[in-house]
């Protein structure tokens, strides 16, 4: 019973070896997702027409990779091939590409080899699932393993999602393998945002240097400075002219003051000279008065001696007395004569003061006049020097143009940035390393109570789930479905469409029986279910018969048809857009598609042409039938011009079953008419769909819909 596990694991190993990989692929490798673009409502990365594995970490970095510069962690949401980025915060200029670590490990072999007691997987491996009971949704709540077969739009994914949520609410651990949008949330960190801001500032400065060099191309700073000095000299000369006028006025005032001071000095000197005899008499008068005082004192002494009794020498003293009296009289006469000719002491003092003041005034006036004269002469010399370097008309035009373009300020900015560049380079390395470690573990998956993923979440067979639900099993290899079912403790439900595109195998592996069985086959083919009749006859398979999508083989009015729950379905239509053999105007068709539409091309080369024409219309899903499998859209355009889909019949069936409302088939009507019955083009012709010509306006606008998610531009 357990031999199938070893055989399946060996088949997976053989397939992995032929595809150039290993079972345990490294998850430390960073993959370049592409450039980051601004869609108008946020940053996006266009990943349409590609299928990614599970995202583990996303960083915004430069073309060299996240380990060769700044790497900013960012939260993302991947939906329909468009990776929408959350606000990353301050972003360095060089971080213009998205890099991701992707879970590329194929866990099928390790899970299969590690399975212990797994009765559900063993029963499914023998092709004998448990029998069905009642409603298909009930299978998700019953022990055992069962299958659900349903065509496109039959509600398989909705049924599994609703059941998973209900089981999770009841406390069960649920694994749901389904195509779902991937969401990574970046945990906010103020320290990381601060480092990002510092790096953004450094990047802005570094990116500014080449821009400044380009702006300053041909600018000669030395020549500009020389011209600016000459122009400034003229402006300064004009200012000095104004100062010279004021200085000349000051000099005139000072010269007038000096002349007045000299005149006053001459007058004071004349008065002082005229009073010279009076001053001499005044001096003589003072001397005579002093002598008179001495003589009076001598007379008084002599009188006292003479009036005493007789003594020897009395005659001599009497003679001296007589002489003193005669001298006294003479002095009095002379004093009277001098008094008439001498000036008063007040007058003499006034003349001296006037002469001294006149000298002082003259000194101050001379100093002021000298200073004013020196200032005038200096201004004359400075003006003459400045006027000697008068700028030419060409100099003036050159200076005006440089100022108009702001080149001097740009040069100053460039010089400042260049001086700081060496220090910034060392600082940048430290900040980049700190940002890297702050970003480790910043991006986390937002997994709810239900573990939703597109592939096996891990390789540990010992980690089990109460319930395992597998969607899109018609396109999954049998080995993956068995490995997932082996993780279930008591319930497993596998849903899918046997008509979906089969798992792809390389030509070199198609002759390997074991690989073809376990890696190229599906659980439905393994259980013998290839048609709807096989599913109805199988005891372990539920069958969903209703469809909410447009069907190519019956372009009928579906209004009035009801699901099992009584829900009315909308009317759908199929429209063939005839190119009349002309080349396709991809841009015109893209511009007329409503929002939320899809374009399905037969191969990647054709999808690339549609992507190029789409440009920044990120609301459109563009890809191949394999990348679009499991999705649904209100409006779908299938390209039947780039290829006739003859070798892609399953892909064609999947592509034409993606539309809920309108299915446009871009084809050449003549090629449809001549197509062999049973081929994809023959089926389109046999469907009798509405035929329209593709004109310059592209695809006709679809009829109005009540679905708020669909908006026609």
Q: Residue 469 in contact with residue 164, Cβ under 8 Å? A: yes
The pLDDT > 90 percentage for the chain reads 24
Residue 309 has pLDDT above 70, yes or no: no
Distance of CA 201 to the CA centre of its chain: 10
Cα–Cα nearest to 451, from 27, 140, 184, 161:
161
The residue ranges of every structural domain in the chain are 1-21+107-187+442-547, 27-105, 228-397, 573-693
Mean pLDDT of 139-149: 92
Q: Which CATH architecture has domain 573-693?
A: 3-Layer(aba) Sandwich (3.40)
Six-digit token string for 113: 């080899």
C-alpha to C-alpha distance for 83 and 60, rounded to whole angstroms: 12
> CA dist 405 to 147, 220, 398, 592, Å?
75, 14, 11, 45
Reported as a pLDDT band with limits 50, 70 and 90, residue 26 is low
pLDDT for res 367: 94
C-alpha to C-alpha distance for 497 and 592, rounded to whole angstroms: 32
- The pTM of this model reads 0.68
Mean pLDDT of 530-537: 86
Residue 83 is classified by DSSP as E
- pLDDT digit string (tens) for 574-633? 889 988 888 888 888 888 889 889 999 998 898 888 988 888 888 888 988 888 877 888
| Cβ-proximal residues to 692 (8 Å cutoff; 6+ apart), any chain | 575, 576, 577, 578, 700
Range in 49-53, 251-255, 332-336, 542-546 the model is least confident about: 49-53
Evaluate the CA torsion angle 321, 326, 327, 328 in order and state its sign.
positive
C-alpha to C-alpha distance for 32 and 61, rounded to whole angstroms: 10
C-alpha to C-alpha distance for 3 and 7, rounded to whole angstroms: 6
Class of domain 228-397: mainly alpha
Indicate if 573-693 has the same CATH topology as 228-397.
no
Whole-number mean pLDDT of the chain?
84
Domain spanning 1-21+107-187+442-547: CATH superfamily: P-loop containing nucleotide triphosphate hydrolases (3.40.50.300)
Q: Residue 178 in contact with residue 160, Cβ under 8 Å? A: yes
Over the Cα atoms of the chain, what is R_g? 56
- pLDDT digit string (tens) for 338-386? 888 888 888 888 888 998 999 999 999 999 999 999 999 999 999 998 8
Six-digit token string for 144: 């055992």
Mean pLDDT of 171-196: 88
Q: Residue 571 in contact with residue 558, Cβ under 8 Å? A: yes
| Planar angle of CA 30, 520, 79, nearest 5 degrees | 45
Residue 256 has pLDDT above 90, yes or no: yes
Strand-pair partners of 636? 598, 663
pLDDT for res 638: 92
Which of 126 and 699 is assigned the larger pLDDT?
126
Report the first-to-last Cα separation within the chain, whole angstroms.
59
If phi over 0 gives left and psi between -120 and 50 gives alpha, with beta otherwise, what is residue 527?
A: alpha
Range in 48-52, 399-403, 516-520 the model is least confident about: 48-52
Q: What's the half-sphere exposure (Cβ side, CA atoms, 13 Å) at 1?
A: 11
Evaluate the CA torsion angle 237, 239, 241, 244 in order and state its sign.
negative
C-alpha to C-alpha distance for 581 and 193, rounded to whole angstroms: 57
Residue 476 has pLDDT above 60, yes or no: yes
C-alpha to C-alpha distance for 365 and 356, rounded to whole angstroms: 14
Six-digit token string for 236: 């300064």
> CA dist 54 to 90, 101, 195, 624, 671, Å?
27, 9, 28, 20, 41
| Cβ-proximal residues to 472 (8 Å cutoff; 6+ apart), any chain | 157, 177, 178, 179, 495, 496, 497, 500, 629, 630
C-alpha to C-alpha distance for 432 and 179, rounded to whole angstroms: 36
C-alpha to C-alpha distance for 514 and 390, rounded to whole angstroms: 96
């Amino acid at each position: 019973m357990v031999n199938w596990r070893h055989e399946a694991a060996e088949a997976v190993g053989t397939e992995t070896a032929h595809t150039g990989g290993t079972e345990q692929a490294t998850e430390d490798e960073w993959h370049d997702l592409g450039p980051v673009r601004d869609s108008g409502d946020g940053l996006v990365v266009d990943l349409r027409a590609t299928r990614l594995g599970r995202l583990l970490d996303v960083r915004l970095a430069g073309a060299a990779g996240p380990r060769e510069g700044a790497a900013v962690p960012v939260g993302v949401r991947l939906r329909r091939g468009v990776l929408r980025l959350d606000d990353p915060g301050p972003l360095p200029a060089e971080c213009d590409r998205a890099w991701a670590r992707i879970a590329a490990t194929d866990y099928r072999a390790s899970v299969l080899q590690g399975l212990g007691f797994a009765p559900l997987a063993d029963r499914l491996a023998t092709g004998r699932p448990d029998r069905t009971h009642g409603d298909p949704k009930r299978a998700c709540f019953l022990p055992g393993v069962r299958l659900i077969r349903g065509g496109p739009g039959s509600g398989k994914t909705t049924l599994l999602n609703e059941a998973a949520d209900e089981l999770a609410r009841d406390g069960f651990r649920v694994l749901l393998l389904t195509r779902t949008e991937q969401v990574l949330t970046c945990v906010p960190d103020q320290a990381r945002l601060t480092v990002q801001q510092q790096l953004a500032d450094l990047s802005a400065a570094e990116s500014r240097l080449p821009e400044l060099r380009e702006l300053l191309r041909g600018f000669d700073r030395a020549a500009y400075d020389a011209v600016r000095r000459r122009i400034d000299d003229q402006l300064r000369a004009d200012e000095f002219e104004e100062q010279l006028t004021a200085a000349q006025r000051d000099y005139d005032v000072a010269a007038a003051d000096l002349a007045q001071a000299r005149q006053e000095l001459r007058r004071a000197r004349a008065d002082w000279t005229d009073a010279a005899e009076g001053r001499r008499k005044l001096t003589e008068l003072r001397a005579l008065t002093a002598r008179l005082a001495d003589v009076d004192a001598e007379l008084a002494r002599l009188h006292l001696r003479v009036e005493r009794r007789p003594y020897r020498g009395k005659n001599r003293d009497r003679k001296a007395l007589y002489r003193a009296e005669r001298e006294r009289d003479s002095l009095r006469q002379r004093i009277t004569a001098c008094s008439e000719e001498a000036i008063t002491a007040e007058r003499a003092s006034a003349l001296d003061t006037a002469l001294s003041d006149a000298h002082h005034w003259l000194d101050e006036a001379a100093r002021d006049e000298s200073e004013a004269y020196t200032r005038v002469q200096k201004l004359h010399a400075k003006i003459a020097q400045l006027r000697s370097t008068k700028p030419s008309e060409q100099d003036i035009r050159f200076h005006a143009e440089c100022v108009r373009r702001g080149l001097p300020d740009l040069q100053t900015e460039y010089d400042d940035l260049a001086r700081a560049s060496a220090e910034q380079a060392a600082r940048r390395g430290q900040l980049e390393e700190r940002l890297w470690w702050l970003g480790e573990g910043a991006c986390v998956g937002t997994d709810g109570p239900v573990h939703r993923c597109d592939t096996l979440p891990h390789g540990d067979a010992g980690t089990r789930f109460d319930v395992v639900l597998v969607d899109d099993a018609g396109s999954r290899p049998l080995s993956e479905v068995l490995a997932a079912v082996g993780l279930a403790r008591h319930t497993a439900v596998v849903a899918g469409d046997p008509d979906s595109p089969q798992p792809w195998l390389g030509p070199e592996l198609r002759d390997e029986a074991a690989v073809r069985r376990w890696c190229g086959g599906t659980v439905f083919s393994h259980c013998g279910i290839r048609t709807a009749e096989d599913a109805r006859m199988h005891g372990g398979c539920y069958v969903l018969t209703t469809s909410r999508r447009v069907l190519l083989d019956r372009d009928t009015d579906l209004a009035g048809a009801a699901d099992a729950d009584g829900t009315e379905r909308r009317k759908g239509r199929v429209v063939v857009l005839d190119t009349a053999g002309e080349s396709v105007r991809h841009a015109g068709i893209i511009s007329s598609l409503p929002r939320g539409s899809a374009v399905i091309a037969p191969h990647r080369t054709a999808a690339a042409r549609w992507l190029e024409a789409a440009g920044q219309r990120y609301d459109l899903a563009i890809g191949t039938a394999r990348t679009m499998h499991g999705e649904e859209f209100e409006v779908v355009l299938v390209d039947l011009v780039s290829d006739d889909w003859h070798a892609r019949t399953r892909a064609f069936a999947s592509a034409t079953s993606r539309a809920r409302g309108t299915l446009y088939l871009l084809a050449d009507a003549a090629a449809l008419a001549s197509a062999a019955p049973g081929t994809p083009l023959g089926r389109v012709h046999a469907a009798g769909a509405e035929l329209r010509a593709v004109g310059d306006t592209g695809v006709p606008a679809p009829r109005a819909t009540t679905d708020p998610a669909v908006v026609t531009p």
